[in-house]
Amino acid sequence: MLSAQTTRTVRATLPAVGAAIGDIADLFYKKMFAAHPELLRDLFNRGNQADGSQRQALAGSIAAFATALVEHPDVRPDAMLARIAHKHASLGITRDQYTIVHTHLFEAIVDVLGEAVTPDVARAWDEVYWLMANALIAIEERLYAEAGAVDGSTWRTWEIVERVQETADVATFRLSPCAGDEVPGFRPGQYVSVQVELPDGARQIRQYSLSAAPAETLSITVKRVHGVPEGEVSNHLHAHGHVGSRLTLSAPYGDVPPVDDAAPLLLISAGIGCTPIVAMLDHLVRVDHAGPVTVLHADRSPAEHALRTRHTRLADELAPGAVHFWYESAGAEDVPATRRGRMELTDITIPTGARAYLCGPLPFMRGVRARLIELGVRPADIHYEVFGPDLWLGGE
């Protein structure tokens, strides 16, 4: 792990670096994309770059990693590294790209902090960077080997064999591999990356949770993203994804623990965050899971609740358990087994020793996680999935 001298230097300079990390990240991306425009065109999410969320995620990961090292210099933060590595593997990140990041990141650090970056400070943060980078490279190479993806060649061609319009803005695409490839196994709750070529020639990539248990096909359920900017890939898929269309997919990734042990389960979601939860329920039904499962979901209305029929049916097939849906719209109380308003856990029975899985907007998950801890669920037993840049790194 970190040397004693480096630990002292990083501890002393972490407040200054942390205070400037937003400016450092902003300048880093500008420098890197100027030198390597293909990375913005074909790798990084242009929407997240436009709204700044990717910069926040980078800042969070660097600060969290450095903080973990100085607080526990003999322990590597493997949980955080595994989450990042799975996302990188789904994008096909390779070893040489870490050198590119290093070059432009350290140029940005020097430009922002100026004379404060003495040779000793530079050496210390260089040690931090390569400790993190080499750990990620090792994990990613193992993930590639397990997926049969040599040197990051994770991409395969798939064909849409069925499209189901779940709601006005949500569609499920069932996909079959081309060229005789086998459907890969995966853990419920994992995701795939989808790469599409847009009208301007950019090959943009997005992650989508697998929304059904392993079978003869893979299923992804895509919500069309409105707003400024609009979701480039989700809108492309809704406009051009038809039966017979071909898509480029990564192998399944995602650092998700298994759900089929004896512990009581809490499967909690909001909005399109129900997609990995429905895949977990599908799996639990298929393996005749006998343990207690509590299913909680919040949405704007029954009409906007994607996969509502499957969500309800699968949850009802598991016993013992409980199902509670919350809808914000007026009239939602007329739908059986639902509640009006936002999710509230006050009168929900939380089993002793429960393991929770959360997926939904980040503010929703933060609030639910805090409430679960108040109700006695151990923080280590609360797992989550974030769509897009993970702004929660270090906050578990």
| Nearest Cα residue to 275 out of 242, 314, 241 | 314
Integer angstrom CA distances of residue 198 from 43, 240, 394: 13, 11, 34
Any residues with CB less than 8 A from the CB of 216 and at least 6 apart, and which? 176, 183
CA distance 70 to 335: 53
Answer yes or no: are the C-beta atoms of 173 and 237 closer than 8 Å. Answer: yes
Integer angstrom CA distances of residue 88 from 31, 81, 95, 181, 269: 21, 10, 11, 23, 24
Any residues with CB less than 8 A from the CB of 341 and at least 6 apart, and which? 326, 328
Answer yes or no: are the C-beta atoms of 37 and 368 closer than 8 Å. Answer: no
Catalytic residue among 29, 98, 191, 384: 98
Q: Is 140 a catalytic residue?
A: yes
Amino acid at 353: G
CA 72 to chain centre: 26
Catalytic residue among 127, 140, 166, 232: 140
Give the DSSP letter string of 66-109.
Answer: HHHHHHSTT---HHHHHHHHHHHHHHT--HHHHHHHHHHHHHHH
Q: Is 385 a catalytic residue?
A: no
CA distance 278 to 157: 25
Catalytic residues: 98, 140
